């Protein structure tokens, strides 16, 4: 009698009972090949245990004990949409819901106060709009085809739940600014911004910054996105239409 590998696997996992179990045991006694395959299934289980059981003996992290006891103080535990990830070398002060007042902040100041025509951000009736190089890149640059050393790197382009086109970007000059802007009424309105405290980003770090979205931006992306990001063709088509739909 021959057995499928699934049957032998089920036997090794203790999932067979009564007659099927007895039949496999008889085959094991008679056929070394059957015995070998079952031993192999058992050996894999034991290798997995050897690899992962040490986790059981690790001291429990305080934050998990607190979470299990329900004593963790989270601002909104239900709204966590992505894993919290500690930035390696970057520290990103972040702002959602932009207010004009923060434009006076020391961090954003340098992006606003520039020679006329060179500011990356401007305010308009309480909203923050992209300007200059940033606005140009948002309107014209394709993520699928952009120079690696461009001052603005476009990340994800997508349609928001409200139907607007939105794009994430990283802007690097003396410091690094990451954000998400949506096309509304012919302008790129900033939905969220995160600034790196690191003043001069080295080439390698710049790359990391450009490709890893700061949590604030990733969070806003998750919140706004309807469906999937645009692929290269859809991105090019949206640009052709002037980011209108």
Partner 1 sequence: MSGPDLHAQLVALLPRLRRFARALARNAHDADDLVQLALERALEHAGQARADAPLGGWMFGIVRNAWIDELRARGRRARVFAPAESAEHVGDASQSGYAEVLSVQEALGRLPEEQRSAVALVLIEGLSYKEAAHIMQVPIGTLTSRLARGREALQKMLGES
By CB under 8 A, name the binding residues for partner 1. Answer: 5-6, 9-10, 13, 15, 40-41, 43-45, 47-53, 55-58, 60-61, 63-65, 67-70, 72, 74, 77-78, 80-86, 143, 155-157, 207-208, 211-213, 218, 221-222, 225, 228-229, 231
Neighbouring residues of 238: CB distance < 8 A, sequence distance ≥ 6: 157, 165, 230, 245
For the stretch 177-182, contacts whose Cβ atoms lie closer than 8 Å and that sit 24 or more positions apart, written own/partner, are 177/111, 177/120, 178/92, 178/209, 178/213, 178/214, 178/217, 179/217, 180/217, 180/220, 180/221, 180/224, 181/130, 181/138, 182/224
Nearest of 92, 208, 199 to residue 148 by alpha carbon = 208
Closer CB to partner 1, 114 or 239, in the complex: 239
Select 100 or 232, whichever has its Cβ closest to partner 1. 232
Shortest Cβ 177–partner 1 spacing (Å):
18
Q: How far is the CB of 97 from partner 1 (least distance, A)?
A: 22
Supply the minimum distance, in Å, between the C-beta of residue 210 and partner 1. Answer: 8
**Toward partner 1, which CB reaches closer, 44 or 113?**
44
CB of 157 to partner 1, least distance (A): 8
Q: Residue 111 or residue 206: which is nearer to partner 1 going by CB?
A: 206
Which CB atom, from 36 or from 118, has the smaller least distance to partner 1? Answer: 36
41 CB contacts (<8 Å, ≥6 apart)?
A: 8, 9, 12, 13
Q: What is the dihedral of CA 105, 184, 216, 221, to 10 degrees?
A: -170
Taking the complex as a whole, the smallest distance from the CB of residue 70 to partner 1 amounts, in Å, to: 5
Q: Is there a contact between 3 and 34 (Cβ–Cβ < 8 Å)? A: yes
Which helix (H) or strand (E) segment is 82 a member of? none
Which is nearer to partner 1, 40 or 91 (by Cβ)?
40
Rounded least distance, CB 64 to partner 1, Å: 6
């Amino acid at each position: 009698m021959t057995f499928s590998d699934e049957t032998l696997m089920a036997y090794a996992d203790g999932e067979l009972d009564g007659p099927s179990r007895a039949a496999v045991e008889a085959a094991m006694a008679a056929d070394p090949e059957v015995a070998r395959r079952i031993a192999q299934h058992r050996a894999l289980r034991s290798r997995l245990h050897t690899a992962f059981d040490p986790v059981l003996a690790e001291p429990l992290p305080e934050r998990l004990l607190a979470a299990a006891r329900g004593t963790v103080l989270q601002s909104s535990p239900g709204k966590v949409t992505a894993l919290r990830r500690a930035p390696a070398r970057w520290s990103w002060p972040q702002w959602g819901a932009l207010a004009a007042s923060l434009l006076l902040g020391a961090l954003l100041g340098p992006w606003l106060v520039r020679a006329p025509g060179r500011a990356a951000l401007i305010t308009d009736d309480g909203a923050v709009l992209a300007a200059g190089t940033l606005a140009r890149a948002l309107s014209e640059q394709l993520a699928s085809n952009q120079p690696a050393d461009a001052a603005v790197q476009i990340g994800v382009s997508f349609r928001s739940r409200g139907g607007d086109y939105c794009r994430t970007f990283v802007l690097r000059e003396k410091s690094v600014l990451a954000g998400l802007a949506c096309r509304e009424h012919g302008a790129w309105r900033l939905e969220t911004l995160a600034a790196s405290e690191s003043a001069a980003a080295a080439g390698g770090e710049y790359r990391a910054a450009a490709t890893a979205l700061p949590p604030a931006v990733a969070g806003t992306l998750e919140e706004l996105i309807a469906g999937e990001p645009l692929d290269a063709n859809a991105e090019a088509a949206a640009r052709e239409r002037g980011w209108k739909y």
